[in-house]
Structure 1
Amino acid sequence: MNILVTGSSGWLGQTLVPRLLHDGHKVVGLDPDAGATTSIVGSVVDRALVRRIIRDEGIEAIVHAAARHKPHIETHDNTEFVAVNVQGTLNLLEEAVAEGSRVDRFVFTSTTSLMISQKIRDGRAGGATEAIWIDETLAPLQPRNIYGVTKLAAEELCRLFNHLHKLPILVLRTARFFPEEDDMAHAIAQSSENTKANEFLFRRLSVEDAAEAHVVALAKARDIGFDTFIISSMTPFSREDRRDLIVDAPAVVARYFPEYRKLYEAFGWTMFESIDRVYDAGKAARILDFTCRTNFRQVLEALRPA
């Protein structure tokens, strides 16, 4: 296929583009920042550029990963988020269904962040008595910042264009796979590696798994038509653990992984005292037949002495 990947110089794009090339696809990478995985420097906000790429390159599939992300809230105003995340998505969708277009599938990189209301974000400090179990049925969606609001608006554009034009579109709500420090770093005194390791229990995946999920979605989009999936490492927890997770997360983890404390102690690591949410990636496993390869068990195996 001839595939357009937006956000090709980003963390996901740097892994996804080589993965698609390895499968024999022709990949056109579009990003405002130059990079080894970007063939065209430009923005999805430029409608004329988007039109030219889709037509001149004979694009058959689009992976739309370009976005202003949560860290940009500190450096970019709301208008920029609307321009890139909403108008940029609309530009791609409209050109994908325009007369003469060969695009027959569209994968949109969304985020689990749009599912987190301020009430969920406050967790135990806000009076929560059990962890929130988060799957695709969670409603109503009440994003707490401009990032989440604009990503939700983009998702709705995807749904609308599938409804109006029957363009096969899969929306992937990815959990955390970025390398930067995150907003739970304050929960422990140790390194970001410790934080990320803990998060594989309930809200993280590797960038390699994120890329692979997009490869699978491209292959299955036409058969599915439209759907939304949480993409995250499979949690070992069950719904019955929700109360204990928010009260004493280390004890719950020890029930599933009795050896984790000893392995963590060797590195000076600790577990979060409380876990206030759990992402359930079961739907992706059932319908996409996709499961992340990296999980908390593998994290522990990597800590074992050689």
Structure 2
Amino acid sequence: EQICRFASARHGLSTIILRPGFICDESVEFPATLRLLSCMVEVRDVARAHLAALECDARIRQDTFIITADSPLSRIDPLNFFADRRGCLEALYPGIGAWIDDGTLDPRTITEWYTIEHARQVLGWQPRRNFRLPEGGVGDVV
């Protein structure tokens, strides 16, 4: 990234840096999709982010973008989340508490998350796959 910044500053090259999270394919199923709340992104969304970067405003000379699923946790105070992970998740996803209580989901595994707001605003990029609870129960593809 420093070399890209240097090339932009010194030679006027356009360098757009994409920082994808943990990249998964479309076959990832619940409960592994819980990682979509923190750092995961589907490979097709990464490909769309690259296309958005190629097609973005030519006036962007150098910038960096986080590419992950859209996590509603980025709109929650981290101190509140770490104090009451179950409560925060239940407020976002009513019913998720049952999967936490039976051990299917472990919110302690969520230790970080990212905002994609900059990519959304500047590139017009929005991931198509984000975390959601399965409608029919554990094991449903989400």
TM-score band, normalised by the shorter chain?
0.7 to 0.9
Higher helix fraction: Structure 1 or Structure 2?
1
1 or 2 for the larger relative contact order (CA 8 Å, sep ≥6)? 2
Deviation track 1:226-281 (CA, whole Å, cap 9, x = no partner) reads: 1001111111124543113223322211011112244x47x962132363222111
AA of the residue aligned to 1:282: E
- Kept in 2: contact 1:246–1:274 (CA 8 A): no
Deviation track 1:72-115 (CA, whole Å, cap 9, x = no partner) reads: xxxxxxxxxxxxxxxxxxxxxxxxxxxxxxxxxxxxxxxxxxxx
- The equivalent position to 1:282 in structure 2, one of 105, 117, 120, is 117
Q: 1:240 to 1:178 in 2, by over 3 A?
A: closer
AA of the residue aligned to 2:85: A
Q: TM-score, normalised by structure 1?
A: 0.40
The residue aligned with 2:135 is: 304
Deviation track 1:6-36 (CA, whole Å, cap 9, x = no partner) reads: xxxxxxxxxxxxxxxxxxxxxxxxxxxxxxx
2:103 corresponds to 1:272? no
Give the Å deviation of 1:200: 1.0
Q: 1:220 to 1:197 in 2, by over 3 A?
A: same
- Kept in 1: contact 2:18–2:67 (CA 8 A): yes
- The equivalent position to 2:15 in structure 1, one of 144, 159, 169, is 169
- Kept in 1: contact 2:16–2:53 (CA 8 A): yes
Q: 1:238 to 1:157 in 2, by over 3 A?
A: closer
1:237 partner SS:
helix
What runs of 5+ residues in structure 2 fail to find an aligned partner? none
Percentage identity across paired residues of the two chains: 28
Q: How many residues align?
A: 134
- Kept in 1: contact 2:74–2:114 (CA 8 A): no
- The structure having more radius of gyration, on CA atoms, is 1
The residue aligned with 1:133 is: none
Q: Matches of 1:174 and 1:274 in 2, distance apart? A: 19
AA of the residue aligned to 2:14: P
2:59 partner SS:
helix
What runs of 5+ residues in structure 1 fail to find an aligned partner? 1-154, 180-191
Q: CA RMSD in A?
A: 2.6
Deviation track 1:101-137 (CA, whole Å, cap 9, x = no partner) reads: xxxxxxxxxxxxxxxxxxxxxxxxxxxxxxxxxxxxx
